[in-house]
């Protein structure tokens, strides 16, 4: 079999409505010739794109942000239908992308400015931030636009060029993004969507024209990509799983705190890396907190994400994802966990799993260490702050964490001890284009967004100019 025949024979990029199971679109995997054309185009585009003044690149990024705002309805409709995101949340995701591109368009030139160094031996020294070349982005399905925006925006402003490999289940979103970039004036090749296979991804990473790769996805995918990149001496940024603690030390209103925690957990139907997957609650609040979570979960019924009526929940991204999460829930219950609400996979072609409340999970259960990627609220009871912190850090992950208290100093003391890339006090998360995002431990490494988002794929080049002395020149 020829190389092109091998590529064509691999699985296609397939869009399926998770609410109905209906196939919306299907696109063949790229041929090896198409991949090579994309690589050549990105490399050629880099030679020209990098030479433009950064202010000109920033102006293009600003136009990208403007188009996100202008196309909010059509873009939101695509991901609502393609991966089941409730329509209001889909609109919010598009709006956040506009914010991200606007931020880097406005702040990028200053963030990439030369940094003077005092040279002890005289002369002038600066650290210059220069682009490195073609980058590969491997992006997931749960935030089809936002994940791309936070990777692409700073790197396009810096002068790098982007090859984007989207999730196989989101080809319509991938094509919508490509069209938006083209219409905004991003030069041909500077941003190129590639429907690559896994084998082709390995080839792209190994290609000498590619200088780095950013992946948001599973631990398994991250380990494979990091291994390939390591063999080829390529820089990697990884944003992987999370099992973020959400610690409630005290509150003036237990029921309201529980409602806030539940609403946070249900964001994107629980399919967010930094969702509050482990709720850690003081013993005097625990019973009422769990009771309110249970009421919230039981009150929801399945609904159409395009309508997002109050009191309804959306499907997961796919039937396979829903089935996998249902198995994790059953395994936890079989091992001794208590199921307070939900846990049932609904019949039919859709991907609906009832919102779930679990307690009684212990360290000997798989669920204590796994990521439950969906609408599952896991609650732990603790006796004091020390136990809360120990439990919060008892995870292989280290993405984010949140601590709540009527005493901000008490909450901050605990938050300071979290082994995580992001810690928030009296907020579920610190979200914004200016806020760096990333984790430690098995949640990955590197940062996106904010000032740190422009420091990952950049040549921090030292330029030293020696002072002239008598007799020289």
Domain CATH code at residue 186:
3.40.605.10
Amino acid 8: pLDDT? 37
Do 129 and 112 touch, CB atoms closer than 8 A? yes
Domain membership of residue 472 (yes or no) is no
Based on the domain organization, do 165 and 213 belong to the same domain? yes
Structure tokens, 1: 């079999």
Residue 397 has pLDDT above 60, yes or no: yes
Query: 105 and 163, same structural domain?
Result: yes
DSSP state of 448: B
Q: Are residues 141 and 234 in the same domain?
A: yes
Cα–Cα–Cα angle for 200, 206, 208, nearest 5°? Answer: 125
Residue 75 predicted with pLDDT over 80: yes
89 is catalytic: no
- My answer on whether 231 and 251 are in the same domain is no
124 lies in the same domain as 211: yes
- The position carrying tokens 């599952």 is 376
What are the DSSP E strand ranges found in 157-303?
161-165, 191-193, 210-216, 235-239, 245-248, 278-282, 301-302
Q: Give mean pLDDT, residues 231-242.
A: 97
Residue 347: C-alpha distances to residues 284, 319, 342, 424, 462 (Å): 39, 10, 14, 39, 62
Other C-beta atoms lying within 10 Å of the C-beta of residue 114: 12
Do 211 and 120 belong together in one domain? Answer: yes
Contact 134, 163 (CB under 8 A): yes
Over residues 95-139, the pLDDT tens digits come to 999 999 999 999 999 999 999 999 988 899 999 999 999 999 999
Both 314 and 417 in one domain: the answer is yes
State the Cα–Cα distance between residues 197 and 176, nearest whole angstrom: 20
How far is Cα of residue 341 from the mean position of the Cα atoms in its chain?
28
Cβ within 8 Å of residue 200, ≥6 positions away: 7, 29, 30, 32, 35, 194
pLDDT at site 308: 76
What is the average pLDDT across 445-451?
97
The mean pLDDT value for 295-321 works out to 96
**14-65 pLDDT, tens per residue?**
999 999 999 999 999 999 999 999 999 999 999 999 999 999 999 999 999 9
Q: How many residues does the chain have?
A: 473
- The encoded tokens of residue 186 equal 């991003």
Helix (H, G, I), strand (E, B) or coil at 204: helix
pLDDT, one tens digit per residue, over 150-167 is 999 999 999 999 999 999
pLDDT band for position 7 (cuts 50, 70, 90): very low
Q: Are residues 234 and 331 in the same domain?
A: no
Catalytic residue among 93, 239, 429, 448: 239
Task: Tell the burial category of 74 from Cβ atoms under 10 Å away from its Cβ (0-12, 13-18, 19+).
Answer: exposed
pLDDT at res. 472: 58
Q: What is the CATH number of the domain that holds 405?
A: 3.40.309.10
**Six token digits for residue 381:** 């009871």
Between CA 68 and CA 73, with CA 72 as vertex, the angle to 5 degrees is: 155
Which structure tokens are listed for 214?
């950013």
Q: Active site residue: 81, 97, 273, 456, which one?
A: 273
Instruction: State the pLDDT confidence band at 473, using cuts at 50, 70 and 90.
Output: low
- Whether 430 is covered by a domain: the verdict is no
Name the helix (H) or strand (E) containing 117: strand 115-117
Residue 6, domain member (yes or no): no
In percent, the amount of the chain with pLDDT more than 70 equals 97
Element of type H or E holding 70: helix 54-70
Residues 261 and 222 grouped into a single domain: no
Domain co-membership, 408 together with 443? no
pLDDT of residue 11: 61
The whole-angstrom separation of Cα 320 and Cα 248 is 33
Task: Determine, yes or no, domain membership for 179.
Answer: yes
Mean pLDDT of 286-293: 98
Residue 239 designated active-site: yes
Residues 403, 248: Cα–Cα separation, whole Å = 6
Residues 177-186 have a mean pLDDT of 98
Smallest CA-to-CA distance from 369 within 326, 331, 320 is with 331
pLDDT in tens, 360-378: 999 999 999 999 999 999 9
The helix-helix angle for 72-83 and 87-111 (nearest 10°) equals: 120
266 Cβ contact list (under 8 Å, min separation 6): 313, 355, 375
Overall domain count for the chain: 2
pLDDT of residue 379: 98
Cα–Cα dist 64/58, whole Å: 10
Is residue 38 assigned to a domain? yes
The pLDDT assigned to 468 comes to 80
- The range of the structural domain enclosing residue 448 comes to 12-240+439-462
Show the tokens assigned to 327. Answer: 């198995």
* 172 and 260 co-located in one domain: no
Question: Is 78 in the same domain as 96?
Answer: yes
- Render pLDDT for 314-351 as a digit per residue (tens, 0 to 9): 999 999 999 999 999 999 999 999 999 999 999 999 99
Residue 436 phi, psi dihedral angles, 5° rounding: -60, 140
Residue 432 lies in a domain: no
Residue 408: predicted pLDDT:
98
pLDDT for position 364: 96
The helix-helix angle for 254-265 and 283-298 (nearest 10°) equals 50
């Amino acid at each position: 079999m020829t190389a092109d025949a091998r590529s064509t024979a691999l699985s296609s990029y397939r869009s399926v409505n998770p609410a109905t199971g209906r196939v919306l679109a299907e696109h063949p995997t790229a041929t090896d010739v198409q991949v090579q054309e994309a690589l050549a185009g990105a490399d050629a585009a880099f030679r020209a794109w990098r030479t433009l003044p950064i202010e000109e690149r920033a102006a293009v990024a600003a136009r990208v942000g403007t188009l996100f705002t202008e196309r909010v309805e059509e873009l939101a409709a695509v991901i609502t239908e393609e991966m089941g995101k409730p329509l209001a949340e889909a609109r919010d995701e598009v709006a956040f992308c506009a914010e991200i591109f606007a931020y880097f368009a406005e702040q990028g030139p200053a963030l990439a400015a030369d940094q003077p160094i005092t040279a002890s031996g005289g002369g002038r020294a600066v650290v210059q931030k220069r682009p490195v070349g073609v980058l590969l982005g491997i992006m997931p399905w749960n935030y089809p636009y936002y994940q791309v925006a936070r990777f692409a925006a700073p790197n396009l402003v810096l002068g790098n060029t982007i090859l984007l490999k989207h999730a196989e289940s989101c080809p319509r979103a991938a094509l919508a993004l490509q069209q938006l970039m083209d219409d905004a004036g991003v030069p041909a090749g500077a941003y190129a969507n590639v429907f690559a296979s896994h084998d082709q991804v390995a080839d792209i990473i190994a290609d000498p024209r590619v200088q780095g790769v950013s992946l948001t996805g599973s631990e398994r995918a991250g380990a494979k990509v990091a291994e390939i990149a390591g063999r080829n001496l390529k820089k990697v940024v990884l944003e992987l799983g999370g099992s973020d603690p959400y610690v409630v030390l005290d509150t003036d209103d237990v029921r309201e705190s529980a409602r806030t925690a539940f609403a946070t957990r249900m964001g994107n139907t629980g399919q967010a890396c930094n969702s509050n997957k482990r709720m850690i609650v003081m013993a005097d609040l625990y019973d009422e907190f769990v009771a309110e979570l249970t009421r919230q979960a039981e009150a929801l019924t399945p609904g159409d994400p395009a309508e997002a009526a109050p009191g309804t929940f959306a499907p997961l991204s796919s039937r396979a994802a829903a089935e996998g999460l249902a198995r994790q829930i059953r395994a936890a219950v079989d091992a001794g966990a208590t199921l307070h609400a939900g846990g049932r996979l609904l019949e039919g072609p859709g991907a609906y799993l009832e919102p779930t409340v679990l307690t009684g999970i212990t360290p000997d259960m798989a669920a204590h260490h796994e990521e439950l990627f969906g609408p599952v609220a896991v609650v732990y009871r603790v006796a004091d702050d020390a136990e809360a912190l120990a439990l919060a850090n008892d995870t292989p992950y280290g993405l984010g964490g949140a601590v709540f208290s009527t005493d901000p100093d008490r909450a901050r003391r605990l938050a300071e001890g979290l082994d995580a890339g992001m810690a928030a006090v009296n907020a579920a998360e610190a979200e914004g284009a200016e806020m760096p995002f990333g984790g430690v431990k098995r949640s990955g490494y590197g940062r996106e967004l904010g000032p740190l988002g422009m420091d990952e794929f950049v040549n921090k080049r030292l330029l030293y100019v020696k002072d002239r002395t008598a007799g020289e020149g």
